[in-house]
Amino acid sequence: MSPSGPLFLGIDSSTQSLSAVAIDDSLNIVAVESINFDTELPSFQTEGGVHRGDDGLTVTSPTTMWVAALDLLLSRLHESGFPFDRVCAISGSGQQHGSVYLRAGARGVLGKLNSDKPLRVQLAGLFAVEDSPVWMDSSTSAQCAAREAALGGAQATAELTGSRAYERFTGNQIAKIYQSNPDGYHATERIQLVSSFVGSLLAGDPIPIDAADGSGMNMMSIREKTWSPAAVECTAPGLRDKLGPIVASHTVVGAIHPYYTTRYGLNPACKIVAFSGDNPCSLAALRLQAAGDIAISLGTSDTIFASLAEPAPSASEGNIFANPVDPDGYMALICWKNGSLTREEIRDSAAGGSWDEFSAALDATPAGNSGQIGFYFKDPEITPPILQTGTFRFDANGNAVAEFAPQTDVRAIVEGQFLSMRLHCGNIGIRPLSILATGGASANAAIIRTMSNVFGAPVYSAEVTDTASLGAAYRARHGWICKQQGRFIPFAETMAAAPPFEQIATPDADAHAVYSAILPRYAELEKRVIEA
């Protein structure tokens, strides 16, 4: 680490941990720290950072745990000699959809923090609801149904808010709190997301929710980027005043509270840039700045992040959020549950458990698999929503068949996954111009060549770790630069010093034409599988 120059801190409050990444003005990572909730804060008795209800649906986290973790994280960095006095701006990331309920008088308590006492001691009794619902909670189906009925149906809800009503989305969690715990709801002065809550601790004042994380609430107008009166009113009475304003994600929303300057040596001039959700911050870390930039993460589940110019919200697939690095843009998130584990199952059954044999089989078969198409659901699928597990194979004439040759199975699983991505991306307006590949399977050259050919786009390697906290650090620097300049500076300009991603695949025009011709047939067969 150089002995001088500004530093920028990104803090991520995830399901299982609170982490920090610091970068310098040249975008180099200079410090990393993390606190695991289960092992390092055992008094809260969490498993995986959460408490699970007896109903199997309710999942919460103790809000005070996040408070205790912040002091512990900053203490660790301070003890390591991290130069807090050089930090010019802090931003953060939080697990999306979690909510925090601050009692009346919270603003006064936060503003008068005493540096001689731990946060946990001073903020006892601050919360009208002690346990925060988090994204894993699925206990709000009744509230989701009521929301969609009030807003004109699932598609109308998606058109308005960017997504149909999801059980984990914050508006539906708030509606449940109001109905099941009215005393707690009415005692609440301010409702925050996990992201804005951690930022509020640092600012010593409740900071606004940013538009990108606010998109995950089923209450924000996705195009206006303001609270939708209809979506707020069907949630709970008097809610608008409890939510506070929505701000653009690059906004400086405050300065560091003296508690942290005295206790840890932070620079009194350090700015707090609006905190955002973990998915938006990951988009920032992957530098998906222009419409047509997408990242495909090939992991346990396969996930696509994308920048969009114009959204096409859908009631059946994906989520549309405000873009965290472009106040006029959008981002999309689509997830497929059957990712690496399903690929591994075919590797084991058709390639002797060897990735080398799997790749050789993929290279030995033609693009388009001679018209043979397979659907492989080891687990119930998210995109498209299919509860029935199993394998569905079709020959070149569309007839269902019991099995494929092993080499055909290998190509069918890979092509089918990427054809599904291309189909469902197109359904919500994603037109990829370039792809960043990350996750374990991105190291497999044969799989990546197929990805490039299906989409007809070049593929680059994007092995970025700690994406949520790194993206938050990038956003801290971006917001600080915008504040210094007195105007919005394009995120790409602030990232010019970042090394370019390495191109690892170039599309073959003939193979891409084959996949474009197959895609309508794939879509028809997918409908048959869904109907079955």
Is residue 347 domain-shared with residue 251, that is, in the same domain?
Answer: no
Q: Are residues 272 and 345 in the same domain?
A: no
Q: Is residue 474 part of a domain?
A: no
Is residue 160 domain-shared with residue 233, that is, in the same domain?
A: yes
Query: What is d(CA 57, CA 173) in angstroms, rounded to the nearest whole number?
Result: 12
Which pLDDT score is estimated for 363? 96
- Provide the edge-to-edge strand list for the sheet that holds 51-52: 51-52, 59-62, 131-133
**What pLDDT is recorded for position 316?**
81
CA of 50: how far to CAs of 12, 66, 92, 503, in Å? 16, 11, 20, 40
Strands (DSSP E) found in 360-470: 373-377, 390-394, 400-401, 434-438, 459-461
> Residue 480: what are its φ and ψ, rounded to 5°?
-65, -45
One domain for residues 113 and 262:
yes
Q: Find all residues with CB under 8 Å of 7, minimum gap 6, and list them.
A: 22, 23, 24, 25, 30, 83, 86, 87, 88
Tokens 């009415």 -> residue: 186
440 in a structural domain: no
Residue 441 located in a structural domain: no
Token pair for residue 12? 């991520």
Show which of 262, 281, 300 is a domain's final residue: 281
Report the sign of the C-alpha dihedral through residues 124, 127, 133, 139, in that order: positive
Look at residue 2 in the predicted model and tell me its pLDDT: 65
pLDDT value of position 429: 84
- At 156 the pLDDT is 98
184 and 37 in a single domain? The answer is yes
The four Cα atoms 113, 117, 119, 121 give a dihedral, to 10 degrees, of -110
For tokens 């002797």, name the residue. Answer: 352
Same domain for 346 and 203: no
Task: State the Cα angle at 216 between 245 and 137, rounded to 5°.
Answer: 120
**332 within some domain:** no
> Do 344 and 275 reside in the same domain of the chain?
no
Q: Does 167 map to a domain?
A: yes
Neighbours of 478 (CB within 10 A): 26
Half-sphere exposure of 231 (CA within 13 A, CB side): 31
pLDDT of res. 221: 98
Does residue 464 lie within any of the structural domains? no
Q: Are residues 236 and 377 in the same domain?
A: no
Rounded Cα distance, 459 and 27, in Å: 23
Region class of 105: left (phi > 0), else alpha (psi between -120 and 50), else beta: left
Q: Which amino acid, residue 349?
A: S
CATH number at residue 252: 3.30.420.40
Q: Could you say which of 255, 281, 307 is where a domain stops? A: 281
CB-CB contact of 459 with 503 (8 Å): yes
What is the domain range of residue 376? 340-419+507-531
Residue 193 has what pLDDT?
A: 98
> Are 277 and 353 members of one domain?
no
In-domain check, residue 109? yes
In this prediction, residue 337 carries a pLDDT of 87
pLDDT at 411: 98
Query: How much is the pLDDT for 310?
Result: 85
Q: Are 324 and 475 a contacting pair, CB within 8 Å?
A: yes
Domain boundary among 243, 261, 281: 281
Q: Residues near 402 by Cβ (< 8 Å), separated by ≥ 6? A: 393
In a domain, 198, yes or no: yes
* Domain co-membership, 110 together with 249: yes
Task: Give me the number of domains the chain comprises.
Answer: 2
Does residue 231 share a domain with residue 145? Answer: yes
CA 510 to chain centroid, in Å, comes to 35
Q: Judge contact between 372 and 416, C-beta under 8 A.
A: no
Beta strands 302-308 and 330-336 are antiparallel
- Per-residue confidence of the chain (532 residues) as pLDDT tens digits? 667 899 999 999 999 999 999 999 999 999 999 999 999 999 999 999 999 999 989 999 999 999 999 999 999 999 999 999 999 999 999 999 999 999 999 999 999 999 999 999 999 999 999 999 999 898 999 999 999 999 999 999 999 999 999 999 999 999 999 999 999 999 999 999 999 999 999 999 999 999 999 999 999 999 999 999 999 999 999 999 999 999 999 999 999 999 999 999 999 999 999 999 999 999 999 999 888 889 999 988 899 989 988 888 988 888 999 999 999 999 999 989 899 999 999 999 999 999 999 999 999 999 999 999 999 999 888 899 887 899 999 999 999 999 999 999 999 999 999 999 999 999 888 889 999 998 888 999 999 999 999 999 999 997 777 899 999 999 999 999 999 999 999 999 999 999 889 999 999 999 999 999 999 999 999 999 999 8
Tokens of 446: 């044969």
DSSP per residue, 228-286 = -HHHHHTT-TTHHHHH--EE-TT-EEEE--HHHHHHH---TT-EEE--EEHHHHHHHHT
Contact (CB, 8 A) for 196 and 207: yes
Q: Does 344 lie in the same domain as 273?
A: no
